[in-house]
Chains A and B, each alone.
Chain A
Amino acid sequence: MENTVVKIENLVKRYKETLALDHFNLEIKEGEIFGLLGPNGSGKTTTMNCILALLTYDKGSVEVFGGEMNPDNIEAKRNIGVVMQNVAVYDELTVYENIDYFCGLYVKDKATRKKYVDEALDFVDLQDFKKFYPKKLSGGLLRRLNIACGIAHKPKLIFLDEPTVAVDPQSRNKILEGIVELNRRGATIIYTSHYMEEVEQICTRIAIMDKGKNIALGTKDELKKMIKNTETIIIEAIDISSEDKKNIQALSHVYEVHTEGDKLTIKCSGGKHNLIRVLDYINERDIPCGRVYSELPTLNDVFLEITGKELRDKEA
């Protein structure tokens, strides 16, 4: 049976009048890439900081590696690596010195440390920049340095708090690939993000958070099964009468039809060949239309259906 690495019970955290964590419960098993997904301000970072004993909390308990987590739990700390949301490095030290410094907080032996630092440099592909100072690095490279500083000592449990914020797509992919590789090498990963695509891509289990609560928990497939929507069909540039809309709504497994400008959205629950049925109807009635496509539900749909709001603010 897999060991529990992190166990949170009934955690309550208040910032004055604001309830940041509301009787939050969570259990993370060894070997998982666990995603904490939620909109900004949902309590992801607060949860992480409470687990790491960086924040005090009002109620509840946090266990890491089977022991109560507090600032004096040195044994647990030895096996933890953290990649902060903001780049947490010394501007006065070079890339190499930064990684060496943070690795040295855990690994005393110089030879081992040198090996680990070189491996971390290779891992984040920063060998060519090891003598650079952080101020000379681009945003993507800085993020990679931030990751290297958190993982160089080969921790068993790694916390990654939105490591891809403000990162270009190329660097983002490298980072995500790296996280999967770390997990493959045996590390348990706790990954917080508000990018549902990333969480879907790499996480084995996901907790969706909102207003300090754990509103859904499971694998991405389990989460998607929790909701009514199983398929969304979108037809662009369509000129459709209200009678036709009613008829489409009456098709089997269709539970919602709505138009937005000249775009028709049809939501289906269960069933097979929903797209073919819709296309057959359009064809039969000779309704003019543009592009037609079908989308499977995303975690955003899960979040939307549970909370009634979008997971992520629409980007401009």
Chain B
Amino acid sequence: MQVFNTFFKIVKKQLPVTMIYVGIFLVLCVMMGSSQRDGAGSYTASSCTLVIVDHDKSEASGKLIDYLSGIHDVKYEEYTDEQIQDYLYYHKIDYVLYIEKDYGTTGELTNVKRPGTSVGIYVDNQIAMYEANMRALLTAGYSMEDAYALTLKALDSDGLVELSVGSAEKPTIYYYFSYVPYVIIMIMFFIITPVIVAFNKKDVNDRLNVSPITLRSKNMQIFLGAVIISIFVWILFIAMACLMGYSDFKDMLYKVALNSLGFTITGTAMATIVGNFGVSGDTKNIIANIAGLALCFLGGVFVPVSMFSKGMLAVAKFMPTYWYINTNDKIFEGGSMDDIAAGLGIELLFALAFFMVAAVVSKRMRTARSS
């Protein structure tokens, strides 16, 4: 088992850089998970402090004030311009709306926003939506009361915001399993590829070929090493996930485990292809980074596929990462084994295809050398 033992001696040399990737991944995972939960992933409409100065005092301006009062904290006190500037500066108010005279007919409004925030744009959007609805309904012949009632219904705040990143709150562990393909690809490129390259180096390989070790035995020992490394990496990531939040995914543990195992096998196969081309050193690092990032961006690891155009989606379907993410989403949406079987199968087909490509490349290289 000399080849097998040496496999792990070479792997040992790659461990420091691999551990750096694992460490960075864990930190990013926690950070991304918490930011997604605190931010876009758990959106709630927030109210601002508004000052409304009504110069029109018409029924139309009254309805607008009513509408905004339903959403925001509206102050009706009379303020001097100086006071308004001070309050904006000290963040006591976010938005000042001036309803101009004849607003009912001209629709003219002016405003002053607290600088450096997006709150003003948020209020602008609400007013624009309200106005567009009201104008359309009034033009259609509705009375002011009916138009207002229908507008309120249409602008129900729950329906205003559609989050393309998924409206349901997801646990940190979801993001962990979403980003894990990237780190698995990188680890495999940094562990498996150098070993394959080392064993395929022409002169070293010639030494092996003149030794009593048969080609079959050598390949079996390398394969066995790769299998053990893959299983180890897979178990490592599942164990880390359990440490991070076992309770968040205990019901779906075997599903996420199967999904990540499928992808680990695919990652091993990809690294084997690169290794068989004899790529090492800086070239290997460049390929690892390009392949890792491309697969993750195009496969929906870093950018949700829901944001992809049709063309991009079509391309994504040729990436193993897409099928991993697709399956992962289904698992966290409560999908059954039947729901995820297809995705798992496609991942394994990718792995099989990659292994076959690696075998063909290896055979071609060998034949080229011996003829």
Contact = CB atoms under 8 A, between A and B. Distances in A.
A195 interface: no
A104 B2 contact: yes
Interface size class of B (residues with CB under 8 A): 20 to 34
Interface stretch (A48-56, A200-208, A230-238, A258-266): A48-56
Nearest to B218: A105
| Residue in A52, A89, A92, A102 whose Cβ sees the most chain B Cβ within 10 Å | A92
A71 interface: yes
Contacts of A174: none
Given A90-B10, A92-B198, A54 B209 contact: yes
Contacts of B194: 92
B2 A54 contact: no
A82 B9 contact: no
Given A92-B9, A92-B10, A105 B215 contact: no
B90 to A, nearest CB: 63
Interface string A96-139: 01000110111000000000000000000000000000000000
A102 B207 contact: yes
B210 A52 contact: yes
Contacts of B370: 54-56
Interface stretch (A72-80, A186-194, A244-252): A72-80
Contacts, number: 72
A162 B370 CA distance: 20
Interface string A53-97: 111100000000000000110100110101011111111110001
Contacts of B202: 86
A105 B10 contact: no
Contacts of B210: 52-54, 77, 80, 82
A71 B215 contact: yes
B108 interface: no
Contacts of A89: 204
Contacts of A101: 2, 5-6
B319 to A, nearest CB: 32
A303 B206 CA distance: 31
A49 B201 CA distance: 16
Nearest to A82: B210
Nearest to A55: B370
A149 interface: yes
A54 B9 CA distance: 27
B206 A84 contact: yes
B39 interface: no
A69 to B, nearest CB: 10
Contacts of A106: 211-212
Contact of A105 (B13, B212, B369): B212
A146 to B, nearest CB: 9
Contact of A84 (B6, B9, B207, B215): B207
A82 B203 CA distance: 10
A280 B121 CA distance: 114
Contacts of B6: 90, 93, 97, 101
Contact of A149 (B2, B201, B207, B371): B207
B253 interface: no
Given A55-B370, A102-B207, A92 B2 contact: no
A72 B210 CA distance: 10
A49 B13 CA distance: 32
Contact of B203 (A56, A71, A87, A104): A87
A55 B194 CA distance: 26
A163 interface: no
A119 B5 CA distance: 22
A89 B194 CA distance: 14
Given A71-B215, A84-B203, A102-B207, A93 B9 contact: yes
Nearest to B13: A92
Contact of B10 (A56, A74, A77, A93): A93
A43 interface: no
B214 interface: yes
A54 B206 CA distance: 7
A56 to B, nearest CB: 6
A80 B206 CA distance: 13
Contacts of B10: 90, 92-93
Contacts of A87: 203
Given A89-B204, A92-B13, A93-B6, 6 more contacts: A82-B206, A82-B207, A86-B202, A101-B2, A101-B5, A149-B207
22 contacts: A49-B206, A52-B206, A52-B210, A54-B370, A55-B370, A80-B210, A84-B203, A87-B203, A90-B198, A92-B10, A92-B13, A92-B198, A93-B6, A93-B9, A97-B9, A101-B5, A102-B207, A102-B211, A104-B2, A104-B5, A105-B212, A106-B212
